[in-house]
Structure 1
């Protein structure tokens, strides 16, 4: 995809650690990024983006010159109205369905009718959020993995009334940003990647991907997870990085579709009740989970 001048601006709402990672991916690919932020979060968001760029520079994935250029493409704003020039908007808030629908209503009020609105989630199917949108044909899931600057997989899940060119443009956009987009033909709880994470069994993951992906995307999904994610980040590490409360919420929705019991979440429930949040809160919990599951 050749990015035109009109398509260069991408909006990210909201600039949490996941949003910063997504913004960094697009900025390194040459797109201009704008954030919707609360005033007190501006400096924190810039620090998060700088940390991502620095991590890639230390690993020699990018040069210091590329870092300086990418950081210049990232701009923070304090009002949703300032996102109006975006051609692609990605929402990353970890909130309830009602809160997300309120955000979408506000975004529809400022974005043009041709803008693609994507939300990054692995726990909510798109039809649960698109019902009250005025432009349902421009709405879909783009599920980025944490951390998006390391794991290139993005699961793309169309809403029921999606327009064909919305899907095609999103896939091209993500490819241009050096991501590995995988198109699901049908929404299913947990999509493909989290079913791999929670099942942990090749037979279960193959069954899921055969039902919900075309062959080419099935292969890409399996490779992206097994080659870039699971060798480095298993379910416990993934929960620690992404946040224990978030992982528990996803697991509580997903496991009833995969197993006869959700007993495997007991360790997470205990840690969450003890206020363990994971690495995002500065309190890594992988060792506690390993000790509890090995006891």
Structure 2
């Protein structure tokens, strides 16, 4: 690695921050957590207990997991000796401006400063920082929950240094994640923009009475979800063209796909329509509690990860 990572500060202990905390500690880091929530100690303890079996299932030794996690009285205490900081605060530009002004002042000069921001590029909240401070700030956007979902979108800002980008790649790789560098800032980054495009059409189809929320989820989990878990949209399309590959697919059905794309819906989402959609989703899934639904999701995600691991880690290109 370009530098050692021994101590991590997790700023913000919501769903994402707690998941990061468990992951970092499972990989042997000392983790200091800061959050103004009054139940911080209970939330951290519950998360470590809940996530420990997941981490064990991924081959990690969770012995002494809680001993490596420490509650900090405030942000200053959390970042004082940090090699890396993972921020998980609210999605508000002004909040992040104030927080990162504190982070660059209080964290060691060598500390890598990462934000879990879901949509706001780092350039939007680092304008007031010096060039030296801005150089070590960038986005490290995970997918929920990050202790299970491997992807981390690494998005440098306009003034992020290349050494910080490489350090972020090294760090996330060292904790078992799959980092992908996105070289152009765009709101929402890549994963959430793809998710938003699909979600928009899903809402439209339900809104138009084409399908129920529950059956739409069945369509996804029994077709595209299975396919994309293994090959992704472009490789899936390349294979869809048969021996002729993506070129054959575009030449033969490209026009019809474009026509269908032109007709994709834009949900109206008036207050009444939005309320009907909420009620439809609650009817489909509201009989189960959040822990029950999240537990089912996590067990299924672990099963997919286990199946992919059993199938081998080599790429299709390498296999061929």
Sort the TM-score into its range (normalised by shorter chain): 0.5 to 0.7
C-alpha separation in 2, matches of 1:76 and 1:93: 17
Give 1:265 deviation, angstroms: 9.1
Pair 1:117 & 2:83 matched: no
Give the 3-state SS of the residue equivalent to 2:229 in structure 1: helix
Q: Identify unmatched segments of 5+ residues in structure 2.
A: 200-224, 233-263, 295-320
**Aligned partners of 2:34 and 2:75 also within 8 Å:** yes
2:135 matched residue in structure 1:
137
| Cα distance change on mapping 1:81 and 1:96 into 2, 3 Å | same
| Cα distance change on mapping 1:2 and 1:131 into 2, 3 Å | closer
Give 1:267 deviation, angstroms: 8.9
1:227 matched residue in structure 2:
229
Aligned residues: 227
Give 1:69 deviation, angstroms: 2.8
**Aligned partners of 1:138 and 1:163 also within 8 Å:** yes
**Aligned partners of 2:54 and 2:148 also within 8 Å:** no
Give 1:101 deviation, angstroms: 1.5
**Aligned partners of 1:126 and 1:159 also within 8 Å:** yes
C-alpha separation in 2, matches of 1:116 and 1:189: 22
Please list, as runs of the form range in 1=range in 2, the aligned pairs for 1:170-185 lying within 5 A after superposition.
170-185=168-183
Please list, as runs of the form range in 1=range in 2, the aligned pairs for 1:5-20 lying within 5 A after superposition.
7-20=5-18
**Aligned partners of 2:156 and 2:165 also within 8 Å:** yes
Pair 1:41 & 2:40 matched: yes
Give the 3-state SS of the residue equivalent to 1:147 in structure 2: coil
| Cα distance change on mapping 1:18 and 1:133 into 2, 3 Å | same
1:51 matched residue in structure 2:
50
**Aligned partners of 1:126 and 1:140 also within 8 Å:** yes
C-alpha separation in 2, matches of 1:184 and 1:108: 23
Give 1:261 deviation, angstroms: 3.7
Q: Identify unmatched segments of 5+ residues in structure 1.
A: 202-222, 231-258, 286-295
Give 1:177 deviation, angstroms: 0.6
C-alpha separation in 2, matches of 1:263 and 1:196: 20
1:126 matched residue in structure 2:
122
Over the aligned positions, Cα root-mean-square deviation in angstroms equals 3.4
Pair 1:270 & 2:270 matched: no
Higher Rg of the two aligned structures: 2
The farther-off stretch of 45-54 and 260-269 is 260-269
| Cα distance change on mapping 1:165 and 1:271 into 2, 3 Å | farther
2:164 matched residue in structure 1:
166
**Aligned partners of 2:22 and 2:48 also within 8 Å:** yes
1:157 matched residue in structure 2:
155
